[in-house]
Structure 1
Amino acid sequence: MTTDPHPAEISLSPQTPTEFPAPLPTVTTTADATPASSPTRPTRADWGRIAIFGIPYAAFFLLGLVPASIIPQSWDLTTVNIAIDSVFLVMVLTFFWREFASTFSYLRTHPLLKIAVLFGLWFVVAVVQLVSRLAIYGINPPVAENQQLVIDALTSSRLALPFAFFVAVGVPLVEEIFYRHILIGKLSAYAPTWAVASISALLFAYMHCHQWQDMIAYLPISIVLTLVYVFSRKSVAYSWMFHALNNSIMVALIFAMQGA
């Protein structure tokens, strides 16, 4: 047995390239990473803006910590309402305008269809409210106290037109920011959406009620507003459009009845 003194050399020429295994994908993990579908938790600055607006709003409208008895009887109630609504509207526009405007992006696709859906939902809510009240009260159902106050202001006050603007446009924006954008959009980072949405719907209806019977008038619209917000991928602009549509139709009907 002999050994070849000139063993064959291993060629590394381009004709016989050497294959190397593909590198493994790099996996980066962070302790505070959140899924893309999870809502972003508010920053400290966000909580500051929420507190400056939300605490006074909740104290005034939900908790009743500012009783109406402190307002002198000589003051015009419509003027007081316009002044209070103006303060909260300025706060909303100052703190949340960019977040509100950005959610109009929901209308980039099929805008006419989505607007038509709002009119259809309004009709459904109106029918549900009417049938519910007729079933409970009969052919002459009472008007909810909050609605009666609005009717009185729009039909007898010299500030009816400015008040109509706030009822139709300004107040819906303030309420949508608080009840939908904050209570659902922000707090859903800490609790299930269905839970905070249910709380939001109940609080919105409760805020408009002066007696428990008024829930019949406000709970349907509250539930639909909540569903509109959630199913529009939390577009507060879209829920505001539905809210403003509902209130604008109400204001138009009141003015039409007054003219008639």
Structure 2
Amino acid sequence: MGIISTRTRLYRFNALDALAVAAYVGFTLYFSLAGESVERLMLQVFPEPATASYAVNAVFYASVGVFAAASAWRIVGRDFRILGTRPWFTLGMVPLAVVVMLIITAVFVGVIGGVQNSQNQLGIQGLLQHVPAWLMVPLLVILGPFVEEYLFRHLLIGKLSQYVNIWICCIVSTVLFASIHTIGREGLQLQALAPYLGMAVVLVGVYVWTGKNLMFSFLVHAAKNLLAVVLIYAVPADLLPS
């Protein structure tokens, strides 16, 4: 009974969850509706456009991340302890999950009929060309994946599934995760959606498969982003899409 009660408390929505969601949605809507004015304001503080864009993203994820970490620290500690009891499983399955993600993404791209870089992806590539790795890696490999796994897996599946069928939660998580990364000023483009759908399907799958282990899905997400960062830094700038 005590174990069940503890698990129920861990997966109960709280005020910090509400603050994290409000910060994420609020910042997203504000940047979507007033993005140009934000850019102009940041350019008054930072002379380089890339530095200004990096600062906006850092503030965005750090603001949400504070509430996410404060809410989920018990889950984080528990899940890391679980993974620590099976280190070889973790070391083997994380890269395997990334490989599966790449395969599924290729399938989605093939079915949809090609891929189109989203505004989000082009923005990241632009940052990676102008911002040093020691600044980008913490943002793209640690802070960003943690915030997104907390929101799209821990909240939308781990906690919401206490009230809604888990498969509905998985679908909602997948669709929202892919959509939030692709919708921009040009609207939602199906060909831009494909890579993020493949990514979301695997992240949802490993989260549910490991018994809602937030840190395992975080490690898979972080590993995929790290691979992307390494590849982009390794590819000459003149070969990247402009």
TM-score, with length taken from structure 2 = 0.80
CA deviation vs aligned residue, 1:74-129 (integer Å, no higher than 9, x gap): 52212211122222222222232222221123324432123312211211221332
The match for 1:212 among 175, 179, 189 is 189
Residues 228 and 86 of structure 1: is their aligned pair in 2 closer, same or farther, counting only changes over 3 Å? same
Aligned residue pair count? 224
Q: Where do 1:5-24 residues align within 5 Å?
A: none
CA distance in 2, matches of 1:63, 1:242: 30
CA distance in 2, matches of 1:59, 1:187: 20
The match for 1:52 among 2, 9, 19 is 19
The range that moved more, 229-238 or 58-67, is 58-67
The one-letter code of the counterpart of 1:250 is: A
The match for 1:99 among 71, 75, 94 is 75
Residues 103 and 156 of structure 1: is their aligned pair in 2 closer, same or farther, counting only changes over 3 Å? same
Residue 28 (structure 2) pairs with residue 61 (structure 1): yes
Instruction: Give 1:60 deviation, angstroms.
Output: 2.9
Say if 1:59 and 1:66, in contact at 8 Å, map to a contact too: no
The one-letter code of the counterpart of 1:231 is: W
The match for 1:235 among 200, 206, 213 is 213
Match of 2:231 in 1: 253
Rg larger for: 1
Q: Any unmatched runs of 5+ in structure 1?
A: 1-32
The one-letter code of the counterpart of 2:146 is: L
CA distance in 1, matches of 2:172, 2:17: 18
Residues 136 and 176 of structure 1: is their aligned pair in 2 closer, same or farther, counting only changes over 3 Å? closer
Say if 1:153 and 1:160, in contact at 8 Å, map to a contact too: no
Instruction: Give 1:186 deviation, angstroms.
Output: 0.9
Say if 1:176 and 1:239, in contact at 8 Å, map to a contact too: yes
Instruction: Give 1:152 deviation, angstroms.
Output: 0.6
The match for 1:198 among 146, 152, 171 is 171
The match for 1:120 among 92, 96, 99 is 96
CA distance in 1, matches of 2:210, 2:107: 27
The one-letter code of the counterpart of 1:129 is: T
Match of 1:180 in 2: 153
Say if 1:201 and 1:226, in contact at 8 Å, map to a contact too: yes
Bigger proportion of residues as helix: 2
CA distance in 1, matches of 2:55, 2:217: 27
Residues 43 and 247 of structure 1: is their aligned pair in 2 closer, same or farther, counting only changes over 3 Å? closer
TM-score, with length taken from structure 1 = 0.75
CA distance in 1, matches of 2:133, 2:227: 15
Instruction: Give 1:244 deviation, angstroms.
Output: 0.4
Residues 161 and 240 of structure 1: is their aligned pair in 2 closer, same or farther, counting only changes over 3 Å? same
Say if 2:128 and 2:232, in contact at 8 Å, map to a contact too: yes
Instruction: Give 1:40 deviation, angstroms.
Output: 1.9
The range that moved more, 167-176 or 107-116, is 107-116
Say if 2:65 and 2:147, in contact at 8 Å, map to a contact too: yes
Say if 1:180 and 1:200, in contact at 8 Å, map to a contact too: yes
